[in-house]
Amino acid sequence: MDFGFNDEQRAIKETAREMLAKRSPMSKVREAAESRSYDDALWSEISELGWPGIAIAEEHGGQGLGLMELTILCEELGYACAPTPFLSNAVAGLIVAQAGSDEQQDRWLPGVASGEARGASELTAPEEESLVADAEGAAFLVLSEGDEGARIVEPGAAEAEPVELIDATRAFARVSAEDGDPLPGGVEEAIDRALVALAAELVGVSQRALEMAVDYAKEREQFERPIGAYQAVSHRCAGMLYETEEARSLTYYAGWCADAEPESLAMASSMAKARASDAAWRVTADALQVLGGIGFTWEHDLQFLLKRAKVDGRLLGDARRHRERVASLAGLHAEQPAAV
Amino acid sequence: MDLTLNQEEQAFQDEVRAWLEENHPGPEPESEQGKFEFRREWQRKLHEAGWAGISWPKEYGGRGATLIEQAIFSGEMARTKAPSPANVLGLVMGGPVVIAHGTEEQKERFLEPILSAEEIWCQGFSEPESGSDLASLKTKAVKENGGWRATGQKVWTTYAHEAKWCMLVARTDSDVPKHKGLTYFICDMEQDEIEVRPLRQITGEAEFNEIFLEGAYIPDENLIGGEGNGWNVAITTLMHERAGLGAASAIQVRRDLDELIALINERGLGDDPVIRQRIAELKMGVEALRLGSLRALTQQMKVGIPGPEGSVAKWEWANLNQALTELAVDVLGPEALQPGSEWAYRFLRARANSIEGGTTEVMKNIIAERVLGLPRLR
């Protein structure tokens, strides 16, 4: 029993934290958000480091590591709020790797792993209006097909209309496409893995917002004291830590389940996504309250985290939807399951 | 990261399970006195099999189990609804304090009867005017040839009426800052200078007591950790109390949640979307507590001392147990609101969870100051 990172995982985390602090500081995030564009050089560097292929099998050009390692990277990318097509590409990779034929895997996964011919995936829940993240510039799109299936569509056969969401650090599009190349397998487990990646991103967002709030509470003085000395503020910060840590425990557990105990993944991934969605929203909203007026200004960077938290919380199903799934998996019988 | 038990841990769990299957005493009797004797008997059995001082070093009659093994053991106890041992305060706090701060003579004198439940221990920390602000306590001990005389009042003292020994923190110097003037004593409860009065709580029962000390005598050899060092000794006690509690309490709440889910299914209420959302929240809370405690245990095994993470677990557990019992009462309706109903008892008892063993507000202070590094107000 050891609920901690091994040396390699710790190294991945530290490298990612350092690299993103240097290459994607908040000033760069702001630049990208205000221009609604990505820094292509950042994507190239991330690709050279092998991040997009971290959880892709070596035979397809990846590093052959597990979902836990992908989880670590997603947490750091969330912490940096980095504007990259990483998540959408990773989800496309997870789906093709699980549900794709050998031929489809041979054709698409190497591009996903190298980042040179990346995939883009639909990231909305099945019953919601379909939105694909980072469709522009992708070599292939993964769209849902019926309840549990997916198909691959090439950009030439699809029409993508950009849709701007409040999170300007990620590009979304409404994609319409007839036909496409169906994947023979079911995608449920791949989506569960994608939930863990998203939850990890949300944990990173929460951690960053918590740190912003705490740093500010130590510096900012009112009534001749740092505001962090007042329990109305310090207890709020303690609550933010509580929320962040619970979401983190559930997310790491889900990452571990994906690699080591797949029979527990369905429950674990929905618990992680539900809790991380709620946590990230509450923590970023609380951070804004701690920051006060400055946190409400365009000039302050918290807005990127707050907006990322709200949009991510919705992707692949919101907290309510995943709690519904948890209730079923926990053994609550329903004659008529509630609509999700 | 590996959340499965390794070979040795698995073997340990098998051993615990096999032993419990053979020796589990079954449900506890209803009456207070009957319950206490039942628990004393249970501890004797645990002790004979070497389970009583599971965390204690072997040289003092314990098992010297690792933190993970301790978590496995308490998890199995919770899972099978095994009773607590009668001398729980002696085992969790008294013994460890004597081991950490006591002299050889004190170890010789006190440890064995703690394990065997021959001598029950209670804790004399809180006072009517000193709850969260423990260091402000007023009970005074003054020197008298060869010993001390203690005068004052203690409150929330579990098992005081059964106890032979009280872990008593008293003020021995009023001229120094409040944390520095305290001394830790082991006080004999069997003397006329001590009066014990039961304290009836909102559940109707009296788990706790008040104790009144009117010049209670304590010989010098029963002072622990040196004169004026009481605060440090008491803090070690509290750290031990909180460490590792999370993993066991998570198993207990998980068991209660399963019971509640079965109850909801039985009543055909599984369709209710609000109940479904609340159950899911509880499920996530239970797992977050369990996993967070395992993360903290892993950390503690690497660093060696219990960290402030125990404060998060204590807070989580109180929240969870209150939310769980509230849902149970909502689901069951009026029948759960009748005195004597098991869930009415649990529901009322849970209100103390965010107060006992450190209030949720104190947990938040600890997290704010020691984890987040925020400035203190004081």
Q: Tell me the ipTM for this assembly.
A: 0.95
Bin B228: left if φ > 0, else alpha if -120 < ψ < 50, else beta. Answer: left
User: Residue B358 falls within a domain, yes or no?
Assistant: yes
Cα B178 to Cα B129: distance, rounded to the nearest angstrom: 14
Range with lowest mean pLDDT among A325-339, B53-67, B352-366: A325-339
Chains A, B: CB pairs < 8 Å: 171
B194 shares a domain with B167: yes
Return the number of other C-beta atoms located less than 10 Å from residue B216's C-beta.
Answer: 27
User: Residue B237 falls within a domain, yes or no?
Assistant: no
Reduced to 3 states (helix: H, G, I; strand: E, B; else coil), residue B52 is: coil
Confidence grade of residue B237 (pLDDT, cut at 50, 70, 90): confident
B62 shares a domain with B40: yes
pLDDT digits (tens, 9 = 90+) for A273-331: 999 999 999 999 999 999 999 999 999 999 999 999 999 999 999 999 999 999 999 99
- The nearest CA of chain A is from the CA of B296 a distance in Å of 8
B54 shares a domain with B134: no
* pLDDT for A147: 77
B298 shares a domain with B182: no
Of residues A157 and B299, more confidence is placed in A157
The token duo for B186 is: 């082991």
Shortest CA distance from A69: residue in chain B: B1
B268 shares a domain with B199: no
B126 shares a domain with B54: no
**Which residues from A are below 8 Å from B283, CB to CB?**
271, 326-327, 330
User: Residue B296 falls within a domain, yes or no?
Assistant: yes
Cα B111 to Cα B156: distance, rounded to the nearest angstrom: 24
B342 shares a domain with B288: yes
DSSP, res B322 = H
Region A164-174: what's the mean pLDDT?
97
Calculate the alpha carbon distances from A268 to A262, A263, A309, A324 in Å.
Answer: 10, 10, 20, 13
User: Residue B129 falls within a domain, yes or no?
Assistant: yes
The token duo for A328 is: 């079923």
pLDDT digits (tens, 9 = 90+) for A233-245: 999 999 999 999 9
* pLDDT for B174: 95
Reduced to 3 states (helix: H, G, I; strand: E, B; else coil), residue A325 is: helix
* pLDDT for A302: 98
CATH number assigned to the domain comprising residue B141: 2.40.110.10
Contact of A335 with chain B, judged by CB distance below 8 Å, is answered with yes
Asked if residue A128 has pLDDT above 70, the reply is yes
Shortest CA distance from A272: residue in chain B: B284
Q: What share of chain B is helix, strand, coil (3-state, %, to 5)?
A: 55, 15, 30
CATH number assigned to the domain comprising residue A233: 1.20.140.10
- The nearest CA of chain B is from the CA of A213 a distance in Å of 10
Element (H, E) at B211: strand B208-219
* pLDDT for A336: 59
* pLDDT for B300: 82
Domain total in chain B:
3
CA contacts within 13 A on the Cβ side of A285: 8
User: Residue A302 falls within a domain, yes or no?
Assistant: yes
Select from A241, A246, A320 the Cβ nearest to the Cβ of B288: A246
**Which residues from B are below 8 Å from A5, CB to CB?**
1
Calculate the alpha carbon distances from B163 to A17, A218, B86 in Å.
Answer: 55, 47, 10
Residues A109, A112, A115, A117, Cα dihedral to 10°: 80
Confidence grade of residue B244 (pLDDT, cut at 50, 70, 90): low
* pLDDT for B241: 61
Select from A228, A242, A327 the Cβ nearest to the Cβ of B315: A242
Region B169-183: what's the mean pLDDT?
95
Residue A317: domain span: 188-329
- Determine whether the interchain pair A332/B270 forms a contact, defined as Cβ–Cβ distance below 8 Å: yes
Q: What is the average pLDDT score of chain B? A: 93
Asked if residue B85 has pLDDT above 70, the reply is yes
Q: Which residue out of A2, A71, A237 would a mutagenesis test of the B interface target, given it has the greatest number of B Cβ atoms within 10 Å? A: A2
- Determine whether the interchain pair A275/B5 forms a contact, defined as Cβ–Cβ distance below 8 Å: no
Shortest CA distance from B372: residue in chain A: A214
User: Residue B140 falls within a domain, yes or no?
Assistant: yes
Select from B276, B287, B375 the Cβ nearest to the Cβ of A327: B276
Spatial CA neighbour of A279 closest among A243, A311, A322, A308: A243
- Determine whether the interchain pair A330/B297 forms a contact, defined as Cβ–Cβ distance below 8 Å: no
* pLDDT for B371: 92
Cα A300 to Cα A290: distance, rounded to the nearest angstrom: 13
B247 shares a domain with B155: no
Q: What share of chain A is helix, strand, coil (3-state, %, to 5)?
A: 60, 10, 30
The answer to whether A193 and A265 have CB atoms below 8 angstroms apart is: yes
Return the number of other C-beta atoms located less than 10 Å from residue B103's C-beta.
Answer: 13
- Determine whether the interchain pair A324/B276 forms a contact, defined as Cβ–Cβ distance below 8 Å: yes
Asked if residue B74 has pLDDT above 60, the reply is yes
Asked if residue B243 has pLDDT above 60, the reply is no
**Which residues from A are below 8 Å from B323, CB to CB?**
none
Asked if residue B287 has pLDDT above 90, the reply is yes
* pLDDT for B240: 65
User: Residue B112 falls within a domain, yes or no?
Assistant: no
Q: Is-catalytic flag, B207?
A: no
Cα A187 to Cα A11: distance, rounded to the nearest angstrom: 31
* pLDDT for A22: 97
- The nearest CA of chain B is from the CA of A117 a distance in Å of 32
pLDDT digits (tens, 9 = 90+) for A184-206: 999 999 999 999 999 999 999 99
Domain total in chain A:
1
Write the single-letter amino acid at B285.
G
